Amino acid sequence: MAQEIERKFLVVNDDWRHQARNKARYRQGYLASDPACSIRVRISGDAAWLNLKSATLGVSRKEFDYPIPVADAEEILDQLCNGPVIDKTRWFVDYGGKTWEVDEFHGDNAGLVVAEIELRHEDEPFERPPWLGEEVSHDPRYYNVCLATHPYKDWPEARSR
């Protein structure tokens, strides 16, 4: 069984950009979301995946990824997904011996930038980059599944920027 252990943080400035070594553009949408799990489809370049993730709040969740044909994923995104499609650029940033994934959102979630780190176990120590802000791992608003139905542009925080 696949286990994802991931912590998520807000990003407080753009200092991470000069450390970014690579990037990927993602389009993803959700077919289902309920108290037990979410089911999404994601496209990046010439690859696509079907993903099932437990809806557990916190840093540790069950996750399963299955490659699917891009043409199928495009049709699923266009015809079967609930709510708007999430559009983001994921930047890969090495810091303190770990790879951080910095997600810069576009469209209805523009202005939101979060950093994630995957860990081997929940209490694994890691070095915090200076551009890292508040941890939001336990705040469901920052889960992509929630951003699809309650986009950042509608949050009071986004309107005050």
- Per the structure, the count of domains in the chain is 1
pLDDT digits (tens, 9 = 90+) for 110-157: 999 999 999 999 999 999 999 999 999 999 999 999 999 999 999 987
Share of the chain above pLDDT 90, in %: 81
- Mean pLDDT computed over 75-91: 93
| Among 39, 41, 35, residue whose Cα is nearest residue 56 | 35
User: What's the whole-model pTM score?
Assistant: 0.91
The residues that are catalytic are 30
| Among 3, 36, 22, residue whose Cα is nearest residue 145 | 36
Handedness of CA 18, 92, 137, 7 (dihedral sign): negative
Q: Which domain holds residue 57?
A: 3-159
pLDDT digits (tens, 9 = 90+) for 63-74: 999 999 999 999
pLDDT digits (tens, 9 = 90+) for 31-61: 988 878 989 999 999 999 999 998 877 788 8
Burial class (CB in 10 A: 0-12, 13-18, 19+), 145: buried
Q: HSE-up of 113 (CA within 13 Å, CB side)?
A: 16
pLDDT at 84: 85
Check which CATH number belongs to the domain holding 28 and give it.
2.40.320.10
